[in-house]
Chain A
Amino acid sequence: MMRGIHQNFEQQPAPAFFVRGPSPFARLAFFTTLSLALMATDSRLQYLANIRQNLMTLLHPLQIIANTPSELYRATDEYFSTHHYLLAENARLKKQALTQDIALQRLDRLNIENANLRNMLDAKQSLTEISTLAEILYVGRDTFTKKIIVNRGRNHNVVIGAAAVDAKGVIGQITRTYPSSSEITLITDKSLAIPVQVERNGLRAIAFGRGRDNTLDLPYLPANVDIKQGDKLITSGIDGVYPAGLAVATVTEMKTTQDSPFAHIVCTPAGGVENNRQVLLVSMPKVEPEKAANTHSAKPVMAKTAADTNSNTEPVPNTKLTNPVSAEKPAQKPLANIENRSHAQQ
């Protein structure tokens, strides 16, 4: 009986389940192992970074093809935007340019004054940043992370760790560079930390992205901390990544509870984290160690700001400058922070 069935099958055109090669389970085991090995390699070792970059270069033409429909839509939309709207926008921009021109004139004077004062103090000249204008190609596809991809990459001298800002404030940091595009992790991403200062009283803190919504957290500040709703947070500039004084966020919620020694502070980012097309990539120039040795003379100025912020135990900025800022370092720093944070939570 069994023999008969076998012969029957052999005469038929080969049924699908006899010509499949290795069993599904064997394939599952093989490819699962392969995936796990890949994940381990990619997350713990750096071997795959180069391969990823090369593949991304390969993918770039495809990306351009995929972007075409939305680009076309935008182009036609702009083309058909009404005369009235353009006139209004033109008037608004002229007005904005005028006010900014006035501010710029004052800035020039302040810059000269600042240079003179620094000369008198024999202090190091403040660094001028290098900036590149980039346009957002697409928003990261991973819903777990807050990332955007912009159209400037290593070919345009974009380096890992550069800050991304828009007209209103900081929006993130470059975390990966490809030849002609780069990846910005937004400040609202859970793995990004940004050193901030409260504008009102100079208090220093570190803001972490919340990850879930477009807000930032200010963890580990005592319940009696002097932060109020509506306070503006600016970059403190002591990390060697973000230029000092850029707007970061506004405090929208400040709560203290009986059961926690820490204040619960939620902030909304100042920059258009989700809605702008153009971003400015600002990278701080590298600092030579010889110059840094002279910076102790600048200490009186620094000490004054440190005195304002009594409750903080952050390192004095100058220690940061003693070693040349490598391109990798700023990107690593937030990750180190987040590790500390998770330990603290356990």
Chain B
Amino acid sequence: MRNNKLRSIYLSLFLAFICMLIPWSGAALSLRPDFMLLVILFWLLRAPNQCSVGTAWFMGLWVDLATGGTFGQYALAYTITTFFAVIYQRRLVLFSSTQQLVYVFSLLFLSQLILLILKAFAGKEFLGWSYFLPSVTGVLLWQLAVSLGLNTGRHAHGN
């Protein structure tokens, strides 16, 4: 059971990474949700023992590699974001689905904000509010997954 879960965690992280590698461009790129962070957040709620801040950090490094940016930017953003998910994990699984949605949105927003700050330090410019669109599409994807019957850990405490 535990092994099975671990395998599905790795598989889903791998698939999320492939999703990040798909050649997005133009409008699709500016709308692309952060698949990796969504999958990590999902497993944080669902299996907090197998997936934690370290996993997020490690996957962040791979995303850094894929984006071609400085090593550690995504890693740091994911680390801080997952920290906030982890410390509220016990409460999050008790939240109603709307509350959970709001929380997931703020986490996605936070990770983008951290990235923005890091990029600003590197001399990049703010691209306008459309920069935060991936958070919106991300949370829509989350809602889609939930409405398709994916259990985001909300009832996990009952099992």
Contacts and interface: CB of A to CB of B under 8 A. Distances in A.
Interface stretch (A63-71, A93-101, A260-268): A63-71
A147 interface: yes
A141 B72 contact: no
A31 B71 contact: no
A236 interface: no
Contacts of B26: 139, 274
Contacts of A274: 26
Contacts of B141: none
Interface in B24-67: 24-26, 29-30, 48-49, 52-54, 57, 60-61, 65-67
B68 A141 contact: yes
Interface in A10-36: 16-17, 19-21, 24-25, 27-28, 31-32, 34-36
Contacts of A141: 20, 24, 29, 66-68
A25 B87 CA distance: 9
Interface residues of A, number: 52
B57 A35 contact: yes
A143 B30 contact: yes
Contacts of B68: 140-142, 145, 147, 149, 176, 183
Chain B CB within 10 A, most for which of A52, A67, A138: A138
Contact of A66 (B23, B70, B125): B23
A145 B124 contact: yes
Given A17-B90, A24-B83, A143 B71 contact: no
B145 interface: no
Contacts of A28: 53, 79-80, 83
A82 interface: no
A137 interface: yes
B123 interface: yes
Contact of B125 (A19, A137, A211): A211
A138 B72 contact: no
B33 to A, nearest CB: 13
Interface string A21-56: 100110110011011111101110000100010011
B152 interface: no
Contacts of B61: 38
Contact of B123 (A39, A55, A66, A338): A338
Interface string B103-139: 0000000000000001100111101100100000000
11 contacts: A16-B49, A20-B52, A24-B52, A24-B53, A24-B83, A34-B75, A36-B72, A37-B72, A143-B131, A144-B124, A183-B68
Given A27-B54, A36-B76, A63-B21, 15 more contacts: A28-B53, A28-B79, A34-B75, A35-B60, A42-B70, A55-B65, A59-B65, A59-B66, A67-B21, A67-B23, A69-B22, A137-B23, A138-B23, A212-B125, A342-B123
Interface of A: 16-17, 19-21, 24-25, 27-28, 31-32, 34-39, 41-43, 48, 52, 55-56, 59, 62-63, 65-67, 69-70, 137-145, 147, 149, 176, 183, 190-191, 211-212, 274, 338, 342
- 8 nearest A-B residue pairs (beta carbon): A138-B23, A38-B72, A66-B21, A35-B76, A39-B72, A139-B25, A27-B53, A35-B72
